[in-house]
């Protein structure tokens, strides 16, 4: 159950990672992961596991999934040479454009895959949680596409700061349930979705949006999101003839990061860098950087690194980006951090916003504030390591962030004309 992380044999675990040994049959990524849920959900998770075993690598299911990815999501997404940023940063910068995927972020890869799985499993309705609203919009769209009723739980604070996405979900036919319990953000939304699922574990499919939660969710999300890294790896080889020196992604729960990193994990010469939300400082409650500042514990079904106090109470987090505002991280990231295969750092609010502005000006691309953490981390890396080939996962577009940007970057702008 509980492992003392300091006793891990990093070399042996790294070898196991290279050997695709994780998750093991108990849903473990080394000491992390597992399945910490109320007894009511155990049969539902067992059925989900059976469905995963039956469908997730089944050629017919994959053909259907990839047909949706190609004709409806708009994959493959492009790999863009960021000429302006390259020049400014003294590097060769490439952007994997998940902002161009349908509904504006990588979240759709997972949602369409899971809703397809829900249909195969005979579910009658789909529920989802959302932070920034991107997973909610993606799930609402996937449910509309495949003819499933959809309910999305969203913290009331997030509903305010991501208002445009609330309207989109409603237009796409979803019921949006405001969550006023707990911290009123992503973590409270996950708690409420779990409570809904506990009430109807047989008829409801819980479409979890990040690489968190009880097994097999971290595995499902990795499998469905790995399309990002597979495409990017192939595109790097086709467009530059080489792999990148480093691949960089932002990490909240960690779905886009695991999707980008996973296909590169065995490429030992490719460094991997994850950027967490550093918020306004390194104190408890000032950030959402669970790997940088967290300790091991169990939250929402999985054993991972958490922002908690000495009594095991989960701490409220802060980030300018709703999508990274979560006090835990996917168990596979906790493992990759522990063995050092992926390096994780924090980027603060201001640096993320500055990188957002720079990307707009230099590339004509408005990135999500989440993705801007990766851009800021890439800039920092480029300054310290000149001339490197850098692949950045641009996980989503920033249109949804306009309410926040009006209050931050644009607060001194005078409107009118």
- Among residues 68, 98, 107, 321, which one is catalytic? 107
Minimum CB distance to another protein smaller for 19 or for 313: 313
Contact 164, 400 (CB under 8 A): yes
Q: Is 120 a catalytic residue?
A: no
CB of residue 97 to another protein, shortest distance in Å: 35
User: What's the Rg (C-alpha) of the chain?
Assistant: 20
Pairing of strands 295-299, 302-306: antiparallel
Burial of 225 (0-12, 13-18, 19+ CB in 10 A): buried
Minimum CB distance to another protein smaller for 84 or for 285: 285
Characterise 51 by phi-psi region: left (phi > 0), alpha (psi -120 to 50), beta (else): alpha
- Among residues 86, 304, 371, 395, which one is catalytic? 395
Q: Is 395 a catalytic residue?
A: yes
Distance CA 13, CA 239 (A): 33
Cα torsion angle, 36, 38, 44, 47, sign: positive
* Helix, strand, or coil (residue 309): coil
Closest CA to 273 of 387, 397, 388: 388
Minimum CB distance to another protein smaller for 37 or for 288: 37
Buried residues in 279-303 as b, exposed as e (16+ CB within 10 A) = beeeeeebbbbbbbbbebbbbbbbb
Peptide bond into 216 cis (omega under 30): yes
Cα torsion angle, 96, 102, 106, 112, sign: negative
CB of residue 405 to another protein, shortest distance in Å: 31
Minimum CB distance to another protein smaller for 248 or for 291: 291
- Among residues 129, 231, 345, 370, which one is catalytic? 129
Distance CA 138, CA 113 (A): 11
CB of residue 192 to another protein, shortest distance in Å: 9
Minimum CB distance to another protein smaller for 36 or for 61: 36
Minimum CB distance to another protein smaller for 27 or for 244: 27
CB of residue 190 to another protein, shortest distance in Å: 8
CB of residue 33 to another protein, shortest distance in Å: 11
CB of residue 170 to another protein, shortest distance in Å: 25
Please give the sequence-ordered ranges of beta strands (E in DSSP) within 35-180, or none if there are none: 79-81, 92-97, 125-130, 150-155, 175-179
Minimum CB distance to another protein smaller for 104 or for 218: 218
Minimum CB distance to another protein smaller for 181 or for 239: 181
CB of residue 99 to another protein, shortest distance in Å: 32
Q: Is 2 a catalytic residue?
A: no
Distance CA 160, CA 165 (A): 10
Burial of 25 (0-12, 13-18, 19+ CB in 10 A): exposed
Query: What one-character DSSP code corresponds to residue 312?
Result: S
Distance CA 132, CA 153 (A): 11
CB of residue 367 to another protein, shortest distance in Å: 31
Contact 279, 240 (CB under 8 A): no
Name the residues that contact another protein, by CB under 8 A: 1-2, 26, 34-40, 42-44, 181-182, 187, 191, 194-195, 198-202, 296-301, 306, 308, 310-314
Catalytic residues, by residue number, are: 107, 129, 395
């Amino acid at each position: 159950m509980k492992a003392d992380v300091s006793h891990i044999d990093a070399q042996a675990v790294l070898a196991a990672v290279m050997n695709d040994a994780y998750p093991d049959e108990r849903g473990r990524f080394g000491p992390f992961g597992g399945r910490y849920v109320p007894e009511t959900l155990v049969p539902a998770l067992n059925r989900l596991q059976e469905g995963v075993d039956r469908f997730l690598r089944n050629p017919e299911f994959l053909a259907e999934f990839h047909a949706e990815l190609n004709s409806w999501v708009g994959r493959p997404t492009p790999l863009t040479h960021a000429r302006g940023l390259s020049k400014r940063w003294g590097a060769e910068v490439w952007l994997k454009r998940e902002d161009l995927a349908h509904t504006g972020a990588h979240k759709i890869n997972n949602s369409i895959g899971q809703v397809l799985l829900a249909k195969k499993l005979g579910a009658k309705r789909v529920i989802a949680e959302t932070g920034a609203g991107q997973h909610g919009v993606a799930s609402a769209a996937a449910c509309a596409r495949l003819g499933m009723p959809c309910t999305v739980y969203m913290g009331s604070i997030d509903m305010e700061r991501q208002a445009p996405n609330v309207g989109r979900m409603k237009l796409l036919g979803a019921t949006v349930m405001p969550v006023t319990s707990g911290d009123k953000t992503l973590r409270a939304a996950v708690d409420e979705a779990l409570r809904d699922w506990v009430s109807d574990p047989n008829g409801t499919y819980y479409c979890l949006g990040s690489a968190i939660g009880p097994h097999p969710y971290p595995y499902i999300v990795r499998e469905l999101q790995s399309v990002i890294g597979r495409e990017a790896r192939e595109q790097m080889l086709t467009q530059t003839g080489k792999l990148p020196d480093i691949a960089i992604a932002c990490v909240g729960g960690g779905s886009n990061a695991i999707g980008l990193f996973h296909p590169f994990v065995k490429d030992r010469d490719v460094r991997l860098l994850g950027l967490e939300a550093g918020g306004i400082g390194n104190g408890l409650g000032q950030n959402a950087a669970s790997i940088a500042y967290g300790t091991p514990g169990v939250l929402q079904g999985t054993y991972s690194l958490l922002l908690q106090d000495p009594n095991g109470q989960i701490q409220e987090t802060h980030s300018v980006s709703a999508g990274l505002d979560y006090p835990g991280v996917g168990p596979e990231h906790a493992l990759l951090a522990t063995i050092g295969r992926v390096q994780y750092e924090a980027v603060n609010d201001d640096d993320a916003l500055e990188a957002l502005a720079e990307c707009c000006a230099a590339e004509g691309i408005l990135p999500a504030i989440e993705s801007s953490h990766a851009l800021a981390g890439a800039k920092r890396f480029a300054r310290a390591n000149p001339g490197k080939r850098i692949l950045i996962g641009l996980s989503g577009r920033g249109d949804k962030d306009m309410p926040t940007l009006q209050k931050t970057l644009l607060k001194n702008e005078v409107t009118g004309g």
